[in-house]
């Protein structure tokens, strides 16, 4: 019998994604950001969140999707990975759901244009719902983000 895993469900480009609840610090509304020079396009800037300067990444940009205008539903999900706090801009944060780990399949090579290494798996919820689980360590892989910076010079 698999274990239950709690995930925060969010929407991005008409797909549903999930990140483990224990990696999520808070969910914030959009707020003004300070742009940081010489960072990849998807790094939108930094915000001061209760005294902590937090970098903000647009997940659409990170995955190479077309960026869209921010709406009243747009949220910043503040996640914590390896001592690093980062905000992820998503189209909307929908709910928290329990997933049985038995219902998680390995990701195919590419899902909706996202490479498998960024994905932890695909979770089946009920009969018709699929949830793409992100591998935050890879999404926020520092060396890769640094490489991206170097390519832009």
**Nearest of 89, 108, 94, 86 to residue 31 by alpha carbon:** 89
Asked whether residue 153 carries a pLDDT value surpassing 50, the answer given is: no
pTM listed for this prediction: 0.87
Model pLDDT, residue 126: 82
Mean model confidence pLDDT for the chain: 87
pLDDT tens-place string over residues 28-49:
999 999 998 888 889 999 999 9
CATH 3.40.630.30 fits 4-151, yes or no: no
CA pair distance 55, 33, nearest whole angstrom: 9
Residue with the bigger pLDDT between 147 and 114: it is 114
Segment holding 146, helix H or strand E: helix 142-151
* C-alpha Rg value of the chain to the nearest Å: 15
**Nearest of 30, 18, 123 to residue 79 by alpha carbon:** 18
Helices in the chain by DSSP H: which ranges? 59-62, 136-139, 142-151
pLDDT tens-place string over residues 99-117:
999 999 988 776 666 777 8
CB 125 within 8 A of CB 133: no
């Amino acid at each position: 019998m698999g274990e239950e895993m709690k995930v925060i469900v969010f929407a991005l480009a008409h797909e549903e994604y999930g990140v483990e609840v224990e990696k999520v610090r808070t969910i914030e509304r959009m707020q003004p950001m300070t742009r940081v020079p010489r960072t990849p396009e998807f790094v939108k800037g930094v915000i001061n969140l209760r005294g902590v300067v937090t970098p903000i990444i647009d997940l659409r940009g990170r995955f190479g999707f077309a960026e869209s205008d921010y709406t009243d539903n747009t949220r910043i999900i503040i996640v914590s990975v390896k001592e690093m706090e980062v905000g992820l801009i998503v189209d909307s944060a929908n709910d928290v759901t329990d997933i049985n780990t038995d219902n998680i399949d390995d990701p195919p090579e590419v899902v909706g244009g996202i490479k498998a290494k960024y994905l932890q798996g695909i979770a089946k919820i009920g009969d018709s719902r699929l949830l793409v689980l992100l591998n935050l360590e890879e999404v926020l892989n520092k060396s890769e983000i640094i490489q991206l910076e170097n390519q832009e010079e």
